[in-house]
Amino acid sequence: MKLDGKVAVVTGGARGNGLASALALAREGADIALLDICRDIDTVPYPLSDQAKLDDAVQQIKALGQNAIGVACDVRFEADVIAAVQRVLDEFGHVDILVNNAGVTSLTAVVDMPEEEWDNLVDTHLKGAFLCSKHVLRHMIGQHSGKVVNIGSVGSFKGFGLGAHYSAAKHGMLGFTKSLAMEVADHNINVNAVCPGTVWTDMMIGLVDSLGMDQEEAQEQFTMDHLMNADHPVTSEDVANAVLWLCTDDSRNTTGFALGVDSGWLAH
Ligand SMILES: NC(=O)c1ccc[n+]([C@@H]2O[C@H](COP(=O)([O-])OP(=O)(O)OC[C@H]3O[C@@H](n4cnc5c(N)ncnc54)[C@H](O)[C@@H]3O)[C@@H](O)[C@H]2O)c1
């Protein structure tokens, strides 16, 4: 298997794209640390994962025959991240892969947006990626190898009405990806981004519920720019396959790159 003996940290790993990515890495032989917030954020209009969800995700990895731990960690806070990375090192001794996936969303006009809503969203995506990279990379640099994958979005390239905070954070993820790739290339560490289109995860289901919209109609609306939707909607497994490729040595000469899993949305 391509990731035998490797250890992967996946943030926001209790469900959705994070869990699918963790399962894909585990199927290739990686042991997994899932970091998740395990509580709600009051400016996010839908429930986040709780401890039971994280425990269940850990069991799903273990059922594949890999070691796994779940760590409650809010990636917005450095003390949480330091403690979580230490826990992973105590448990596994090393870290080879970091997937910065934790994310939240909401739809609010800039003129109506409370400062906390901006901060909570931007900090989860962008500051979280910075903090986790900072504390994991120190170990990757010491071992002269590693893979970092940041989860961007179509919103890394396009504006979203009522999603200025999300689009700004996701644009920022790309600047961070490219800059970090330059910083750590000499240490044999690849840093890339995966940019999904719309995936009907709990994030989208929760957002649509909070707006009182019909799920089916909303799904059609949010995926109308996917070119291949009629045959195959974008799934978390599609995202996971892209993450997996960027975490193996099959992509060893790919760094500072943004890989779209957007059903051609960005082509038009
Ligand atoms: N679903 C989509 O359409 C879509 C599209 C493009 C990009 N993405 C990105 O994919 C990533 C995963 O999203 P998803 O759709 O699987 O959503 P999701 O809500 O199903 O999963 C996100 C996970 O992150 C966790 N989380 C949230 N805030 C956190 C924090 N501060 N610290 C630690 N964990 C936290 C949640 O508890 C949850 O388990 C996000 O970065 C999202 O922006 C999603």
Atom nearest to 53 CA in ligand 1: 39
Mean pLDDT of 251-259: 98
Q: Is 68 in the pocket of ligand 1 (CB under 6 A)?
A: no
* CA 52 to centroid of ligand 1, rounded, Å: 17
CATH entry, 7-261, from 1.20.58.220, 3.40.190.10, 3.40.50.150, 3.40.50.720: 3.40.50.720
Closest CA to 203 of 114, 118, 121: 121
pLDDT of residue 180: 99
Where b means 16+ CB within 10 Å and e means fewer, 192-204 reads bbbbbbbbbbbbb
* CA 18 to centroid of ligand 1, rounded, Å: 7
Q: Are 166 and 155 in contact (CB under 8 A)?
A: yes
Element (H, E) at 8: strand 7-11
Instruction: Read off the amino acid at residue 210.
Output: S
pLDDT per position as a tens digit, 199-238: 999 999 999 999 999 999 999 999 999 999 999 999 999 9
pLDDT per position as a tens digit, 29-84: 999 999 999 999 999 999 999 999 999 999 999 999 999 999 999 999 999 999 99
Whole-angstrom Cα distance, residue 127 to residue 129? 5
Residue 265 confidence (pLDDT) above 90: yes
pLDDT per position as a tens digit, 16-33: 999 999 999 999 999 999
Alpha helices in 93-201 (DSSP H): 115-122, 128-143, 164-184
Q: Count CB-CB contacts under 10 A for residue 189.
A: 24
Indicate which residue of 166, 176, 200, 265 is catalytic: 166
pLDDT per position as a tens digit, 133-181: 999 999 999 999 999 999 999 999 999 999 999 999 999 999 999 999 9
- For residue 46, indicate whether it is catalytic: no
Mean pLDDT of 99-107: 98
- List for the chain the helix, strand, coil content (%; round to 5): 50, 15, 35
Residue 268 confidence (pLDDT) above 90: no
How far does CA 191 lie from the centroid of its chain? 13
Strand partners, 150: 100, 193
How far does CA 92 lie from the centroid of its chain? 21
Query: Best of 127, 199, 203 to mutate for ligand 1, by most ligand atoms within 8 A of CB?
Result: 203
